[in-house]
Amino acid sequence: MKKAVGLMVCMLALVLVAGNAFADTYDAVKKRGTMVCGVKDSTPPFGYVDQKTRQIVGYDIDFCAAVAKNLGVKLEVKPVTSAARMPQLMEGNIDMIAATMTKNAERAKQIDFSHSYFLTGQKFLVKKDSVKALKDLDGKKIGTAKGSTSEQNAKKALPNATILSFDDYPQAFLALQQGKVASVTTDETILAGMLSKAPNKAQFEIPNIQISDEPYGLGMRKGDKKFVDFVNKTILDMEKSGEAQKIYDKWFGPNSDLPMPRTFKIVADK
């Protein structure tokens, strides 16, 4: 019994030590000279591989770069999937998540979020003229990404549908093109980004059917207050200076591949 108790105490101590090792990301990153940001690499225009430079670029990457610049350190980006991004953060493999991640109460139990830096809503990508209302998808196969809020929202909105979860959204879109699913569902901007890059985009559409609001937050380790406060101040300052608007215009402005008016501003959470 004493051995068992002793073992439990040792394990708890190790957990606390590990937690403390990640507790002050701000100072650790400053000392290291590099901030590691977990991003998507196949979700245009938020994070994808530029075919010319072979570098990961996008809206999320530009926000990571702004935070790193304000910290006075270099930026390193690391590709993550929807399912792996939170484990990667909590295990200390990345310092911050900027990967189209919706803020919600369940996730906030495990990690801390910045103020919302992007707002969108969950919709559906379908073959043209195949869906007019949500009921048209009832009982159908719907594709989305593992570990995403889209997966959970689709199950609630379409309880009779079969939700097929893929490693990423491009795989789900391929399944739609092959007729294996009737729709792909995720945030409208992600769907529109995929569609903008598709050679056969005229065959598909995003009907005006929205099942949720999706505020994106930059993810950081739970209790990492100094770093969270710094990131929040950085993105609020970006809004005030116009830098946030410039980044938005770069990826969603009238001269971009995905022109969409900006309907939000970065403000402090209440």
**How far apart are the C-alpha atoms of 125 and 133, rounded to whole Å?**
12
Q: Is it true that 25-117+217-252 and 119-214 share their CATH fold? A: yes
- Least Cα distance to 215 among 155, 149, 170 occurs for 149
What's the pLDDT score for residue 22?
A: 53
Q: Residue 197 has what pLDDT?
A: 86
Give the model's pLDDT for residue 270.
76
Question: Strand order of the sheet with strand 42-43?
Answer: 42-43, 47-49, 56-57
Single-letter residue type at 8:
M
Give me the residues paired with residue 123 across strands.
186
The pLDDT score that the predictor gives to residue 23 is: 57
Note the pTM of the prediction, 2 decimals: 0.86
Q: Write the CB contacts of 58 (distance below 8 Å, at least 6 apart in sequence).
A: 39, 40, 43, 44, 45, 46, 47, 48, 251
Mean pLDDT for each consecutive 10-residue tract of the chain (270 residues)?
44 43 83 98 96 96 98 98 96 97 96 98 97 96 94 95 95 96 96 91 95 97 97 98 98 93 93
Per the CB < 8 A criterion, the answer to whether 80 and 97 are in contact is yes
Per CATH, the homologous superfamily of domain 25-117+217-252 is: Periplasmic binding protein-like II (3.40.190.10)
Contact yes or no for 262/120 (Cβ under 8 A):
no
State how far the Cα of 30 lies from the Cα of 237, in Å rounded to an integer: 20
Task: Give dist(CA 258, CA 244) in Å, integer.
Answer: 17
> What does the pLDDT read at residue 154?
96
Q: Token digits for 13? A: 């101590």
Segments making up each domain of the chain, as ranges = 25-117+217-252, 119-214
Q: Which of 233, 226, 231, 217 is nearest to 23 (CA)?
A: 226
| CATH class of domain segment(s) 119-214 | alpha beta
